[in-house]
Amino acid sequence: MPRSLRSATVLLIAALCAIRPLPAHDDARRAELEKQLAATAEVEQKVMVPMRDGVRLASDVYRPKGVEGPVPTIFWRTPYNFSELSQSRLEMITRAVEKGYAFVIQNERGKYFSEGEWEILGFPRTDGYDALSWIAEQGWSSGKVATIGCSSSAEWQLALAAMDHPAHAAMVPMASGAGIGRVGRFYEQGNWYRGGAFQMLFAPWLYGVQNTQRPRLPADLSREDLVRLGSYFDLAPEMPEVDWTKAIRHLPLAEMLSTVNGPQGTYADLIRRTPDDPAWYEGGLYHDDEPWGVPSLWFNSWYDVSIGPNLELYNLAIEQATDAHVADNQYLVVAPVPHCSFFRSEENTIVGERSMGDARLDYYGLIFDWFEHTLRDEPGDFAEETPKVQYYTMGANRWQSAGTWPPAGVKEWPLYLDGGGSANSVFGDGRLASKPPETAARDTFSYDPMNPVPSLGGGVCCTGGAVQPGVFDQRPIEARHDVLVYTGEVLAGAVEVTGFIETVLYVSSDARDTDFTIKLVDVLPDGTAYNVDETVQRARYREGYDRQVFLERDEIYEIRLGPMTTSHEFGKGHRIRVEVSSSNFPRFARNLNTGGNNYDEAEGVVARNTVHHSPDHPSRIVLQSAPVSSD
């Protein structure tokens, strides 16, 4: 394998989210695309675009051959290596050029041939803004620019949208959750937290990305020399391989990267921040007190790390749009796939262990219709032909459309935790009921952070293989005594759950602090228990993320977990189940139960945790149900 490909494979840990290998026939498609691009594009490599402070960012520019007059531009900005284009990027550039668009791809500062020092999200409010200005000023540019990208190539776009650059005519943010700081009910601060618990993906991801120590080229090299050097070297570090299934268990958290001889940098800073630390509001994250200035075509997926914040932001962008045109041009697509796997949907799309059926969608067609709508003077029929919201309902395995999220007509449907006080494991007596409990009971379990409940699938990304995303049979998890299992009656007919899912638990503990987790599960007639969504709440943040309020021993507290989010049909003969515990590791970092910082601690204590369900303490989940289609 060439060195550039091998290095890129290590660096692109964000792509390790169980995206299956490309089929062999894609080699032929790649060769075809390279031939098409060579025939249709004028290419300028290593164009060094100056920023306001003099730092230059390495960019490749593709322009359609033989096209007279200025053209609109599609802009892809990334911290990843593009010395050799990925096939999806090659497909996008080739289609763009053939349709008469310029395409610019650029590395963030501090990455590869770009000068300066890297910062997570790549300085969207300065470098992102200046890059748009540079594109708009070129003689070949029409002055209209659309940004596009997935994951890190999308996340920087969100803060840029708040700047309302005059050239920023449209955007296509795909799987952009790590660009969201605080939005509505979510304080994830770029996916760093969920419910106040650290999301473990950032240790392996930053291991590969925050390579701030690198060779530096002389600042006065000509573009010709840079192109020549780029053909010899790609400046991609060859990071030593790490077994993250083992390394991710290391305590204390603050030392995790140093123990694998990784660079500290960003990780060492962020791991010490609380969920509402003022520093979160000084960087490149987008927050809900900012305006939204750009028409957007959003792509998200059910088994990604931050579907809830993304859908919350979709609604916020409409509410806080700078004008009616921006508000009316927000479109949303939600697919049943893991992180950045949109273009890998198949006739039989398998996500983890479960078939989602034919989840294909003409993504390229939709994207380029959107560009015609927003970047051309004659916008076409996009607005008349495209639903505001397109979402895939799992279980039923069909695409649906709506005018809003959640769709109009959904109704709240509370299901109450009930039983005789022995809900421990699937073999216990926990049940879900449509009415509040008539008698008082409680379910107690011991949570040992040294023996946490293991993660099995779910909305995960970028853990270096420590957790695989998607749907898996949860029965091995439900056999544990430290997992409370509550199961509803057999459904007489199909039930569609579409929207946000609230959770209210009444809990007590003998620890100063602990976590509570919940998982929504679809139980098939044969007993297979497929996970739908999950979340967590750290008890010390139950009153808000701007304060820490610790538990008093055996006092009963109401805890509201951040919303889960889905569109899922529970079929006839199925049952709805929830699992409650205090860990889901390494999806979320373990709470060591001490009331300390967690990040600088290596020893935990066992917590005796209790979930109460009674007329006075009606622990429950609140689903949003929708009418089941007869199609």
Looking at this protein, which amino acid is placed at residue 618?
P
Give the number of other Cβ atoms within 10 Å of residue 86's Cβ.
16
Kindly list the structural domains of the chain, giving each domain's residue range(s) and its CATH number in brackets, ordered by start: 3-402 (3.40.50.1820), 411-626 (2.60.120.260)
Ranges of H-type helices in 324-442: 324-328, 363-375, 382-385
Q: Classify the phi-psi angles of 473: left when phi > 0, otherwise alpha if psi is within -120 to 50, otherwise beta.
A: beta
Query: Each residue of 274-294: pLDDT tens digit?
Result: 999 999 999 999 999 999 999
Is the model's pLDDT at 568 over the cut of 90? yes
Residue 212 has what pLDDT?
Answer: 65
Is the model's pLDDT at 506 over the cut of 50? yes
Average pLDDT, the chain: 93
Is the model's pLDDT at 138 over the cut of 90? yes
Is the model's pLDDT at 315 over the cut of 90? yes
Q: Distance between CA 169 and CA 374 in Å, rounded? A: 6
Q: Whose CA is closest to 78, among 39, 113, 53, 44?
A: 113
Give the number of other Cβ atoms within 10 Å of residue 412's Cβ.
10
Q: Distance between CA 421 and CA 429 in Å, rounded? A: 7
Is the model's pLDDT at 483 over the cut of 50? yes
pLDDT-based confidence at residue 629 (cuts at 50, 70, 90):
low
Residue 14 has what pLDDT?
Answer: 37
Residue 459 tokens, joined:
């909305």
Q: Between vectors from CA 304 to CA 303 and to CA 306, what angle results, nearest 5°? A: 125
pLDDT-based confidence at residue 342 (cuts at 50, 70, 90):
very high
User: Would you say how long the chain is, in residues?
Assistant: 631
Q: Distance between CA 546 and CA 463 in Å, rounded? A: 28
Question: Cβ distance 478 to 426 under 8 Å?
Answer: yes
Residue 6 has what pLDDT?
Answer: 36
Give the three-class secondary structure for 142. strand
Question: Cβ distance 296 to 317 under 8 Å?
Answer: yes
Ranges of H-type helices in 471-523: 475-478
pTM value is 0.93
Query: Each residue of 58-97: pLDDT tens digit?
Result: 999 999 998 888 999 999 999 999 988 888 889 999 999 9
Residue 235 has what pLDDT?
Answer: 85
Distances, alpha carbon 152 to alpha carbons 15, 120, 121, 557, in Å: 11, 9, 7, 38
Catalytic residue annotation? 151, 304, 339
| Measured distance between the N- and C-terminal CA atoms of the chain, rounded to whole angstroms | 49
Residue 25 has what pLDDT?
Answer: 54
Is the model's pLDDT at 21 over the cut of 60? no
Beta bridge partners of 106: 59, 77
pLDDT-based confidence at residue 210 (cuts at 50, 70, 90):
confident
Least confident of 1-10, 34-43, 341-350: 1-10
Residue with tokens 């889905």: 566
Q: Whose CA is closest to 285, among 214, 186, 140, 148?
A: 186
Q: Which residues contact 104 (CB under 8 A, 6 or more apart)?
A: 59, 60, 61, 62, 73, 74, 75, 76, 131, 135
**Rounded average pLDDT over 607-623:** 98
Cβ-in-10-Å burial (0-12, 13-18, 19+) of 297 comes to buried
Is the model's pLDDT at 540 over the cut of 80? yes
Beta bridge partners of 450: none
Q: Distance between CA 37 and CA 377 in Å, rounded? A: 26
Query: Each residue of 373-430: pLDDT tens digit?
Result: 999 977 678 999 999 999 999 999 999 999 999 999 999 999 999 999 999 999 999 9
**Rounded average pLDDT over 610-615:** 98
Q: Which residues contact 510 (CB under 8 A, 6 or more apart)?
A: 553, 554, 607, 608
Cβ-in-10-Å burial (0-12, 13-18, 19+) of 581 comes to buried
Q: Distance between CA 86 and CA 89 in Å, rounded? A: 5
Beta bridge partners of 613: 441
